[in-house]
Amino acid sequence: MSERAGAALSLGFVTTFITVVVALPIAALAWSASKKGAGGFWDTITNPEALAALRLTLAVAALAALTNAVLGTITAWVLVRDDFRGKSTMNAIIDLPFALPTIVAGLLLLTFYGPRSPVGVHLAFTRGAIFVALLFVTLPFVVRTVQPVLIELDVEMEEAARSLGAGEATTFRRVVLPNILPGILSGVTMAFARAVGEIGAIVLISGNLPYRTEVASVFVFLRIQSGDPDGAAAVAVVLLAISFAVLLVVGGIRRFATKHERP
């Protein structure tokens, strides 16, 4: 086969594959949501149950993402700068939420925080349950985006700051933080996207009570089950828009972060 033909075939395969597998279903979704027109769309998503679900989802997702931003940064710091026995095990365990099926994660949480909780914490059917579930699934995000940035960080910048008289807190605030901030931000936004879309970890422990503990993804699911895919599509499109927005933000952060690197 000639080289040109081979390259063209490969490119053709790639574009066709991604179109058929990802782009077309998304297009079908967008089209379905637009079927009832802008008015119909607006009505569906301002339906009180839908609004409640979206509000709850966005609020708890943001809270979980931000909590993990702080704790994730601390964890990344400890993993990169500290050394102790069991560190590599600790490093491997962090990926557990990535490797574990979300429904099993849900079961874990139900066992630990549910009716038969050994620590006496009974969160089942509460918003606290959703928060803890989202903490679990978003735990690795900020850690994994901050670690490489910390490693890349020129330690000599911190030494320079110290030699100029800056204390540890000042050095962190003025020298380390500005340089790891892009890493933290991209981790937080991806964590937010994941949290907004989560279903498996929540569906068992939250009880899915409308207006109380029903999240957007569960709302969509129930809509489909009750035979209203177009109504589901409206809310789904809102979630889709959030996902695209997150990807745009992350891309923008990456471009901004390399701005100071350009020689």
Residues 162-191 that bind another protein (CB under 8 A): 162-168, 170, 174-175, 178-179, 190
Between residue 96 and residue 115, which ones bind another protein under the rule CB under 8 A?
A: 96-104, 107-109, 111-113
Our finding on whether 226 is near another protein (CB under 8 A) is no
- Is the Cβ–Cβ distance between 100 and 171 less than 8 Å? no
CB atoms within 10 A of CB 159: 12
- Given CA atoms 197, 202, 204, 209 in this order, what sign does their dihedral have? negative
Q: How far is the CB of 192 from another protein (least distance, A)?
A: 9
Figure out which of the listed residues 34, 49, 71, 207 binds another protein, where binding follows CB under 8 A: 71
Helices (H), 47-124: 48-81, 87-93, 96-99, 102-113
CA dihedral 50→129→200→24, nearest 10 degrees, is 40
Considering only the stretches 40-48, 78-86, 123-131, 206-214, report the one whose residues sit in contact with another protein under the rule CB under 8 A. Answer: 78-86
DSSP, res 260: G
Considering only the stretches 44-52, 122-130, 206-214, 237-245, report the one whose residues sit in contact with another protein under the rule CB under 8 A. Answer: 237-245
Between residue 30 and residue 69, which ones bind another protein under the rule CB under 8 A?
A: 31-32
Considering only the stretches 40-48, 93-101, 123-131, 206-214, report the one whose residues sit in contact with another protein under the rule CB under 8 A. Answer: 93-101
Q: Which amino acid is at 77?
A: W
If you search the block for the tokens 């997702």, which residue do you land on?
61
Between residue 137 and residue 166, which ones bind another protein under the rule CB under 8 A?
A: 139, 147-148, 151, 154, 156-157, 159-166
Question: Total number of residues binding another protein (CB under 8 A)?
Answer: 109
Structure tokens, 170: 């000042």
